[in-house]
Amino acid sequence: MLQFSPVTRNIIFINVAVFIIQMILKERAPDLALWPVNSVQFKPYQLFSYMFAHGGFSHIFFNMLMLAFAGAQLEMIWGQQKFLIFYVVTGIGAALMYLAVQYFMNPFGGNPMVGASGAIYGCLMGFGLLVPDRVITLIFPPVSIKAKYLVFILGGITYFFGGPNTAHAAHFGGAFVGFLLIKLFRF
């Protein structure tokens, strides 16, 4: 059963509040998306703000579902402060990876990015590394699977079934930074 720990609950609340504000204000909403560095719309604050804006209901729903699952577990293991630092650092790391790929692959501009997915993949990687043999029972399909395998399956699903606007570099960046924090820096 999902247990909402304080930081995880507050991150979910902020994401939902920002999403509601985005829906109400539409074009008048402040630009929270992360634009490529070679774009005139790029602002440094977007390295942080993009994590709280989402592109649609399914986008925010699945991100917050994964955060409720993995984030709450990490927060119980590490405590509130350490989890919040991990979440923010993996989210910013995802943004930097996205910006680097965009800069080299599309030097004349590119598309903006929104969503907490990079930080979420950092959390999934952290969960898979810290409790790799924890068995997770899924509702659909009704199967039990170890955490270390579930992380790779979820990564594969987003890579193979994500649409053309999926920020794969950000997903990889968040997971990679999460891996580095835990394995290299003994987070």
Torsion 8-14-17-22 (CA) sign: negative
CATH of domain 6-183: 1.20.1540.10
CA distance 23 to 81: 31
Please give the model's pTM, rounded to 2 decimal places: 0.93
- Digits of tens for pLDDT over the chain (187 positions)? 555 799 999 999 999 999 999 999 987 666 899 999 988 999 999 999 999 999 999 999 999 999 999 999 999 999 999 999 999 999 999 999 999 999 998 877 788 999 999 999 999 999 999 999 999 998 878 899 999 999 889 888 888 887 778 899 999 999 999 999 999 988 8
CA distance 35 to 42: 5
CA distance 153 to 159: 10
Q: Residues for the chain: how many in total?
A: 187
